[in-house]
Amino acid sequence: MSMPSKWEIAQFWEQGRNRDEFAPHLSLVEPCCFACGWFSECWEEKTPRARWRRARLERAHIVPRSLGGPDTADNLLLLCRPCHEDSPDWADPRQMARWIATRAERPSKEVETSRHGLPLPVRHQSSGMPLPLSPRSRTRKSE
C-alpha cells in the first residue's frame, strides 16, 4: 500500500475529530507543520493541493512502522524537519497528542519569493487570506 499524499493527510485531519489534538495549526489553504505551525513559503500555486505537495513538510508516523503503525492518514502527520527529528517514537498515539500540545510554536518565514522573484504578500496563517500590503492591515490574533 502506498502512503497517502500530503494533501490527503491534510484533508483527513481537517475533517478529523481529533484535529485539535494532532493538528492544532492546520489550515488547508496554508501548508504548515501540524506540531509547531511553521510554514516556510507562500507558493504561488493555484490550488491548495499543489501548495501542500510542494511544502517542505515531512510525513511523520504517529505510531512508527517499527511499532506496528500503519501507513494510513490517521497515523500520519505533516511535520517540519525539526519537529520530525525531535518527535519521539510512541506506541500510544495519545502520547503524540500530548507532545504536540507542549510543542512551542516556531515563527514562520514571513515573505517568500515567487517564481518571478517578487515578494509575495504575507498570508494570515489561520484564514489563509493575503494580508493587505497597505497600512490598513487588520490584525487577527490566531485562535
Residues contributing to the site for Zn ion (CB under 5 A)? 33, 35-36, 38, 80, 83
Q: How far is the CB of 32 from Zn ion (least distance, A)?
A: 8
Tell me which residue has cell 503503525.
69
Q: How far is the CB of 125 from Zn ion (least distance, A)?
A: 13
Q: Which is nearer to Zn ion, 57 or 73 (CB)?
A: 57
Q: How far apart are CA 111 and CA 11, in angstroms?
A: 25
Three-class SS of residue 76?
strand
Q: Which is nearer to Zn ion, 40 or 72 (CB)?
A: 40
Q: Which is nearer to Zn ion, 9 or 35 (CB)?
A: 35
Q: How far apart are CA 65 and CA 133, in angstroms?
A: 46
Q: How far is the CB of 133 from Zn ion (least distance, A)?
A: 28
State the Cα angle at 64 between 59 and 67, rounded to 5°: 165
